[in-house]
Structure 1
């Protein structure tokens, strides 16, 4: 029994040490980082949408953070986006990346169609892979797991606004595992 308790104590100390090192890395990144200028962008054509798509690739969005206002003809999303535009910092041989809370606001939305989207799963996060606008009157939000949201619009108009300060993580989105998942499906 005493040996088992010692082993459990050693495991807890190892976990606490790893957590402490991670917290130190994040704090060091916050202290050394140059100030981040929040993004505030508007997209009004397919080229603008492609640029915006690159900035929100791998945004994580809880199922409850999608809202369609039929009277205002707006579709809004509150997302936790990965900051691809920022270079990672290396501290103690680990890369530190940024994420930030942002809002996506689509105007002139006539209709919303959800494909493989289960709003009943309120605890599920959706991983936004791309925003596509190949037609002037349709925007597609492409998520991992074959989930899509199609927005029928009278004209393209989308806003991206960073809402808070960037926070830091040691985790970077992994597209190799996504590709392996798609091939094995």
Structure 2
């Protein structure tokens, strides 16, 4: 006897999102909240005008399902790429030290003239990265299979 597949049995597909306006960016920001990465996993390729991070992203889109089914929370490695970057500034961000782990709290966009602006990455511990861009284009792409979150817990933000 065969049984039809149920929607719940389907595998989640890796995320591949592009933000081209502030509303899109708010969605990406919510999905990368609490991502962690070694400071050595960020790179600015000035000739290609691309800034990228390799993140260990908490899978917020799966958290409710994990809790409901009483299974482990998951993380996944994702690339966050910001395109059309003309300059990068940072505050409180050590560079190149593989032992320093940073936590991404949010991403926002401050619009300038004629579509230009600044993408701001806010990090835990008062760190920030400001990326001047000619146009807003941020891409989030999962690049590995999900894995059990080492803490086995969802990140918390006590008030």
Is the aligned partner of 1:100 residue 2:76? yes
Q: Is the 2:83–2:136 contact (alpha carbons within 8 Å) kept by the matching residues of 1?
A: yes
Q: 1:33 to 1:100 in 2, by over 3 A?
A: farther
Aligned partner of 1:156 in structure 2 is 136
Aligned partner of 1:115 in structure 2 is 91
Normalised by the length of structure 2, the TM-score is 0.84
Higher relative contact order (CA 8 A, sep 6+): 2
Q: Is the 1:100–1:166 contact (alpha carbons within 8 Å) kept by the matching residues of 2?
A: yes
Q: 1:96 to 1:150 in 2, by over 3 A?
A: same
Aligned partner of 1:145 in structure 2 is 125
Aligned partner of 2:59 in structure 1 is 83
Q: For the residues of structure 2 that align with 1:90 and 1:130, how far apart are their CA atoms?
A: 24
Structure 1 gaps of 5+ residues are 1-31, 180-185
Q: 1:168 to 1:110 in 2, by over 3 A?
A: same
State the 1:89 CA deviation.
2.8
- What RMSD in Å do the two structures reach over aligned CA positions? 2.0
State the 1:88 CA deviation.
4.2
Q: 1:89 to 1:33 in 2, by over 3 A?
A: farther
Select the structure of larger CA radius of gyration. 1
3-state secondary structure, aligned to 1:35? coil
> How many residues are aligned here?
145
Aligned partner of 2:3 in structure 1 is none
Normalised by the length of structure 1, the TM-score is 0.73
Structure 2 gaps of 5+ residues are 1-7
Q: More helix by proportion, 1 or 2?
A: 1
Is the aligned partner of 1:63 residue 2:42? no
Runs (4+) of structure 1 exceeding 2 A deviation are 87-91
3-state secondary structure, aligned to 2:29? helix
